[in-house]
């Protein structure tokens, strides 16, 4: 076996140079995917956690160059769900057996702290774990949602290349993004972050930095997907990321952070019809089936070609369960919180596997 992959599998520690070496060598991809699959099996087991995704608003005050929901895009139909409609989708998610719902939206100021607290309270009454993915907020706001019962928060760093980040996210600052992530962590949420792969101007070195950043910030979950150019954005002519490179960054993330939760992302399946299955066999242990109903799904258009936009939540539930079974894995019946493992160095804050 390649020495660096062996080192990664045994120590979960590679330097930036070592990560770059692996990222540059395309002949090693399958070996990296297999090593990540073994580490996934060893640390988080064969169960796949399902998170029901509710996309409750696509109205955005931000103008990120890559995103179809950006405020200057007038080619999409905008919507926001009534609060009780979102609660109804969560109830249905619970009835399908999901133990977690993810409330995701664009950055929509309509959803004030009071409205969010109402939503969080109603969903927590359903005995579900709750992840929020609603963008940049003040520390006080994050604290309010946390007190109201939200368990996890998902906010991708997108890229750790500060200059690129600020170019792609006009009016936003890299420092504030990192501040958000630190606040989220300190407030006791499970912290989810991640990046896109294949952004215009993104270097291999910065992808290695992304992986090291995930470790440094203490992420509990990492979502990685290819950047897919959206026709209605200024980046419509870009090349976009490849499936292979996205899986590779994800697999290396598994090798470096062995016990975290890693979703097989929708964007991966958009580029490859077997994308999520390949991801689940290359380090991923989570899937996020959509539980948004009706036409809203197709209006939450981050990029074109998003999978499953015409499917019902019931169809998605049975489809993903079948896929998971087809590779000999099972659907978890638990909430799916991160179980920190001693050898990942994660046990200092408690809640570890108990073997230390």
Q: Which of 158, 210, 220, 301 binds ligand SAH (CB under 6 A)?
A: 158
Task: List the one residue from 131, 193, 230, 341 that touches ligand SAH (CB under 6 A).
Answer: 230
Tokens of 150: 């939200």
Closest to ligand SAH by CB, 194 vs 346, is: 194
The H helix count followed by the E strand count for the chain is: 14, 9
Distance CA 248, CA 243 (A): 9
Site for ligand SAH contains 51 (CB under 6 A): no
Among 225, 283, 289, 313, binds ligand SAH (CB under 6 A): 225
Residues 6+ apart with CB under 8 A from 103: 54, 56, 86, 119, 123, 130, 131, 132, 133, 134
Q: Is residue 261 classed as helix, strand or coil in its secondary structure?
A: strand
Contact between 220 and ligand SAH per CB under 6 A: no
Dihedral of the CA atoms 312, 124, 276, 48 (nearest 10)?
-120
Smaller CB separation from ligand SAH, 259 or 269: 269
- Binding residue for ligand SAH, selected from 164, 189, 303, 352, defined by CB under 6 A: 303
Cβ of residue 241: shortest distance to ligand SAH, in angstroms?
Answer: 8
Distance CA 126, CA 249 (A): 36
Q: Is 259 in the site for ligand SAH (CB under 6 A)?
A: no
> What x/- string results for residues 264 through 293 when contact with ligand SAH is judged by CB under 6 A?
---x--------------------------
Which range in 6-14, 150-158, 173-181, 208-216 contacts ligand SAH by CB under 6 A?
150-158
Q: What is the DSSP string of 97-161?
A: T-SEEEEEE---TTS-HHHHHHHHHHHHTTT-EEEEE-----HHHHHHHHHHT--EEE---B-S-
Contacts with ligand SAH by CB under 6 A lie at 66-67, 104, 106-107, 133, 135, 155-156, 158, 196, 225, 227-228, 230, 267, 302-303
């Amino acid at each position: 076996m390649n020495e660096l992959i062996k080192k990664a599998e045994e120590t979960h520690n590679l330097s930036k140079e070592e990560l770059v070496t692996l990222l540059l060598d395309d002949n090693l991809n399958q070996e990296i995917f297999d090593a990540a699959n073994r580490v996934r099996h060893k640390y988080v087991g064969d169960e796949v956690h399902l998170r029901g995704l509710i996309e409750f608003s696509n109205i955005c005050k931000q103008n990120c160059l890559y995103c179809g929901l950006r405020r200057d895009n007038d080619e999409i139909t905008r919507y926001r769900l009534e609060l009780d409609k979102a609660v109804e989708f969560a109830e249905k998610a619970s009835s399908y057996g999901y133990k977690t719902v993810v409330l995701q939206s664009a950055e929509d100021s309509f959803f004030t702290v009071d409205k969010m607290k109402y939503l969080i309270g109603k969903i927590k009454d359903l005995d579900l774990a709750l992840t929020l993915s609603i963008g940049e907020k003040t520390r006080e706001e994050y604290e309010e949602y946390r007190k109201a019962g939200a368990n996890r928060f998902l906010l991708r760093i997108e890229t750790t290349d500060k200059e690129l980040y600020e170019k792609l996210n006009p009016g936003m600052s890299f420092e504030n993004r990192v501040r958000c992530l630190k606040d989220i962590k300190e407030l006791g949420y499970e912290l989810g972050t991640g990046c896109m792969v294949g952004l215009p101007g993104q270097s291999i070195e910065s992808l290695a930095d992304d992986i090291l950043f995930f470790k440094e910030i203490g992420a509990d979950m990492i979502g990685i997907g290819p950047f897919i150019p959206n026709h209605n954005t200024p980046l419509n002519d870009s090349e976009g990321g490849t499936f292979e490179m996205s899986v590779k960054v994800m697999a290396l993330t598994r090798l470096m952070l062995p016990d975290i939760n890693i979703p097989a992302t929708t964007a991966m399946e958009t580029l490859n019809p077997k994308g999520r299955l390949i991801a689940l066999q290359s380090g991923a242990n989570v899937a996020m089936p959509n539980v948004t109903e009706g036409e809203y799904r197709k209006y939450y258009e981050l990029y074109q070609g998003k999978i499953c936009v015409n499917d019902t939540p019931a169809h998605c539930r049975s489809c993903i369960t079948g896929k998971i079974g087809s590779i000999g894995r099972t659907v978890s019946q638990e909430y799916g919180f991160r179980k920190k493992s001693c050898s990942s160095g994660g046990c200092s804050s408690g809640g570890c596997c108990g073997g230390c």
